[in-house]
A and B are shown apart, each in its own frame.
Chain A
Amino acid sequence: MARNWMDYKTDAWVQWCPACGNFGILTALQRALAELDLPNEKVSIVSGIGCSSRIPYYIKTSNVHTLHGRPIPVAQGIKLANPDQVVIVASGDGDLLGIGAGHFVAIGRRNIDIKVILHDNAVYGLTKGQAAPTLPLWFKTKALGQPNIQSAVNPLLLAFASGYTFIARAYAYHIDQLKEMIEAAIRHKGTSLIDVLQPCPTYNDIMTKEWYEKRIYYLDKEDPSWNPNIEKPEDVKKIPKIVEKMMEWEPRIPLGVFYRNTMVEPLDVRIEKIMPGYLQNPPARRSIDIGGRALTNPFVAFKDRIVTT
């Protein structure tokens, strides 16, 4: 029997403010997992620290709530050790683009098959509303002591420059569309970003529901010929258009899948090339001993250090 989204619900009380955009992300994620009928223990949702990072308690899968900024490394450790696990990072914009920005970049270089869901509320919700790296210059949301004098980073361009092979933007209140994007990301084999515009009614009093809904539109609705797929060498001709769309922000904010490149080898394929047998016997599963006995001897395995006297 196929799974239902209720199968991914836990009985924990959801600790978010009323109308928080995180609710939409939670529901969309549960529905996407149900749609793909993934066994609960075979999915790991890995988060950092922040309001959004409490999501692992609300989805009944094998999750890890890590440190502030470190969900991406922990997620990669899981995936490297067990390539069969479906690994999703769900974390805040401060977590992923501030304290954890180095990892956000490095994961792209690997094209490891991990989906990054960026809860983009442009503020630090949990620490009471400071500016996140996605808050635009000069915005003064209500908890700030002074206007924001630092410019916003563009998560899509950063992901593109870093080598992510699936890049999308969604809106937290549009659950159906977000669910579809999550499913598409999980189906894509490679590092994926979904930047989810997530209203924070408590601290972001500028980028509200009304503010977003005046600006957002879907790439494929506006232009039915929109095709983000890079599947063959000629498709790179699409890239200037894709980048142009990634840069668009005011007065209109495009949503949808911007980029899906299936020509870049994912990390597990690369590893298999330099270490044959990896996929069949990955680090989490390969035997390390036979009843406590080591599998090799230095004089068998490390002949380059032998000196015959």
Chain B
Amino acid sequence: MSENVDLDVMIGGPQGGGIESSGQMALRVFMIKGYDVFGIREYHSDIIGAHSYYNVRVKAQKPRSVRLPVDALLALDAETIFTHYNDLAPESYLIYGTESLNTRIDGIAPMDHDTKERVKEDLKQKGVEPVASEVVKYLASTGVKTVGLPFKDLLKVTAERLKTTVVSVSKTVNTMSITALAAMLGIDLGAVEKSIQLYFAGRKGIVDSNVEAARTTYEYIKDNYGVSKPLPDGPHRNKVRMIATGNDIVAMAKIVGGVTLETYYPITPSQDEAFYMETHRVFDLDEEASRSLGQSKTGTLVLQAEDELAALNMAIGGALAGARVATTTSGPGLSLMNEAISFAVITETPVVISVWMRTGPSTGIATRQGQQDLLHAMFAGHGEALPKIVLASGDHLEAYYDTIKALNWAEKFQVPVIHLLDKYMAASMMSFDMEDVDPYKVPLERGKLVPNPDPKTYKRYELTDDGISPRAPLGTVQYIVSSLEHNEYGVVTEDPVIREKMSLKRLKKMETIEREIPESEKAVLYGDPDSRITIVSWGSTKGPILDAMGSLAKEGLRLRFLQIKTFLPFPTSTVKKIIESSDDVIAVENNAFGQMVMAVRMFTGLNINKRIAKLNSRSLMEQEIYNGVKKALSMKEGLVVVSDGA
């Protein structure tokens, strides 16, 4: 029964050593078998050689997180064995290259010194010598099924069959590992071959050598380990589906959502979003649009700026001229954008800033997870830079629709919108269907954009009941835009009465935003609505929380989970109501100081006295919430730090 399938597979190896393609191929193999997948990549900020891994979760219906221990570890090098030997479930598979067996831990140059010492200490306590062969033996003794692949021999056979040299097929070892995994899990060779064809589409030479490598490996496994019980087909066979990272899906949403100008300065983990937009700057229109516009393609301009100061200020210039604009960055870039956020506020300029958070403070750990920019985003900009909107998405599909909503809100309310995302989403991939990313579900709205204003009566900053004025693009009518306090025409003024009116205009606009964004967009309740145990969280912790809630519910522990989605405007009444109707409230965040808890206190006056925090910069996993909730419930108050992940 495919409903019972719940697999977690880890693939580890040196950065730049084919981890990316192995992960991508594994994801596709499982999708071809009809499953939903969720994969996340943990990688080092160094470019090449350092340990990196992919964690892939496989379920019949939408997995949202990964978990430890894993059901299979594919070790492309010895460092992977040393880093993850504690992450294997009983009866799981370890697939490794027999060449790594002689490696001693001290001979692994890229491995972090502190990590090495910690591993050696642990192995010593287990009575295992720090050499890969001994660790493998130890694992076998604990019930792990160890599968050694003699890559040299397999490459030789592959080369002979293709009538070519070993060197020319040497890059196929990743495929061999994936094939061995597939064979052990009872996946047919056909699925592997199809995934190779998909992943290396159009590159015939590469496809041929990888297919041959897969065949050779499949036979080897069959001959040496027999035939495994076949994995049943999942429910999603024979469909046209997609797989994308969070970066990809936000890029897609920006293009679908009508961004015509995106600016950026490269920073991890945001740069792949801009990269995806660049590669798709010219895109096909759907049938209806093609017919109605009389063209089959249109374009979105993407420009790499010289820094984040320029990125946001350019976007603002584009918006002033009437374009729908966005930019993308991470925490350090948001720091540099602060002044321009304030500029966007006073000039009432719509702009969406996607902020892919990572580990801070300062440069921190550039390629790892963190949720440390919440208060930064809320307080971004000097001199009371309000109104603005701060919105946080919980997963890929939310991020897709939220991006479109953010673009609408920016134009409707003429404010900067900071859209908080993070490394967890940026670097994770999930499978989805056409109906999951419906481009027509959220209609595009541009608010009070007036393309043809009357030059005689037009006032850009006209005082209105809702605080929002008609917005004419520069170039359509003569008026001035100023970063200084200004009157209804935009002309600079220090008049106290006008200054006060403009302050009240901005205040009124925030009230309009609060009123017009429905409560259901501000916070969402999951789980058992009548439970009196509540998890409160925000952002990408959603996946691990929901997956863990599923496991806890099976044990009879039914929880509810309040996901805060907008911090400006804040869902004050909902948060208050939920906290006040709970016996236990547990906050979950990837930051040390409890930034969401502070925001909750600021808006509701209520405290949350139990917190689960993940601070080691790695991705939050299902079992950490599962264990963390149990621990938090056993305490009166305090902080539970969860620490899994290598």
Contact = CB atoms under 8 A, between A and B. Distances in A.
Contacts of A300: 284-286
Contacts of B303: 80
Given A44-B475, A288-B324, A76 B317 contact: yes
Contacts of A297: 256, 286, 434, 439
B281 interface: yes
Interface in B282-319: 282-286, 288-289, 292-293, 295, 297-301, 303, 305-307, 309-311, 313-319
A283 B289 CA distance: 17
Nearest to B439: A294
Contacts of A283: 260-261, 300-301, 318, 321, 323-325
Interface in A47-100: 49, 54, 56-57, 60-67, 69-70, 72-82, 84-85
B286 A307 contact: no
Interface stretch (B131-139, B144-152, B477-485): B477-485
Interface in B461-520: 473-484, 491-492
Contact of A70 (B33, B240, B286, B313): B313
B617 to A, nearest CB: 28
Given A78-B474, A307-B28, A103 B319 contact: no
B314 A73 contact: yes
Nearest to A295: B289
Contacts of B261: 77, 80-81, 283
Nearest to B245: A305
Contacts of A307: 28, 31-32, 198, 241-243, 431
A299 B455 CA distance: 43
A72 B261 CA distance: 17
A191 to B, nearest CB: 14
Interface stretch (B160-168, B231-239, B595-603): B231-239
A269 to B, nearest CB: 14
A301 interface: yes
B492 A65 contact: yes
Contact of A298 (B238, B292, B439, B446): B439
B298 A63 contact: no
Contacts of A306: 240-242
Nearest to A71: B313
Given A275-B299, A299-B434, A288 B258 contact: yes
B252 to A, nearest CB: 5
A293 B292 CA distance: 12
A108 to B, nearest CB: 11
A79 B298 CA distance: 19
A293 B478 contact: no
B39 interface: no
B439 A74 contact: no
Nearest to B445: A292
Nearest to A110: B303
B130 to A, nearest CB: 41
Interface size class of chain B, counting residues whose CB lies under 8 Å from the partner chain: 35 or more
Give the most central of B33, B259, B263, B313: most A CB within 10 Å.
B313
A235 B366 CA distance: 48
A225 interface: no
A146 interface: no
A78 B321 contact: yes
B440 A294 contact: yes
A278 B303 CA distance: 13
A1 interface: no
Contacts of B476: 41
A309 interface: yes
A296 B289 contact: yes
Contacts of B323: 81-82, 282-284
A56 B321 contact: no
A41 B475 contact: yes
B360 to A, nearest CB: 23
Interface of B is mostly: mixed
A85 B321 contact: yes
B483 A65 contact: yes
B129 interface: no
A276 interface: yes
A103 B313 CA distance: 11
A285 interface: yes
B314 A286 contact: no
A106 B305 contact: yes
Q: Specify which of B248, B280, B316, B340 lies most central, judged by the most chain A CB atoms within 10 Å of its CB.
A: B316
A70 B340 contact: yes
A284 B299 contact: no
B260 A296 contact: no
Contact of A63 (B295, B317, B481): B481
A40 interface: yes
Nearest to B480: A63
A290 interface: yes
A277 B298 contact: yes
A287 interface: yes
Given A41-B477, A307-B241, A66 B343 contact: yes
B339 interface: yes
A81 B248 contact: no
B252 A302 contact: yes
A56 B492 CA distance: 10
Contacts of B331: none
Given A301-B280, A301-B283, A306-B241, A287 B317 contact: no
B443 interface: yes
A42 interface: yes
Q: Most B CB atoms within 10 A — which of A82, A284, A309? A: A309
B370 interface: no
Interface string B334-360: 000001100100010000000000000
B317 A85 contact: no
20 contacts: A44-B475, A62-B477, A76-B310, A77-B317, A85-B474, A103-B310, A282-B323, A283-B325, A284-B318, A289-B443, A290-B292, A295-B285, A296-B286, A297-B286, A298-B242, A306-B240, A306-B242, A307-B431, A308-B198, A309-B34
Given A67-B313, A296-B255, 17 more contacts: A70-B339, A73-B305, A73-B311, A73-B317, A77-B320, A78-B317, A81-B317, A275-B299, A283-B261, A284-B473, A290-B289, A293-B289, A295-B258, A296-B284, A299-B242, A300-B284, A301-B255
Query: What are the 7 closest A-B residue pairs judged by CB atoms, nearest first?
Result: A77-B317, A288-B258, A283-B260, A292-B443, A73-B313, A106-B306, A283-B323
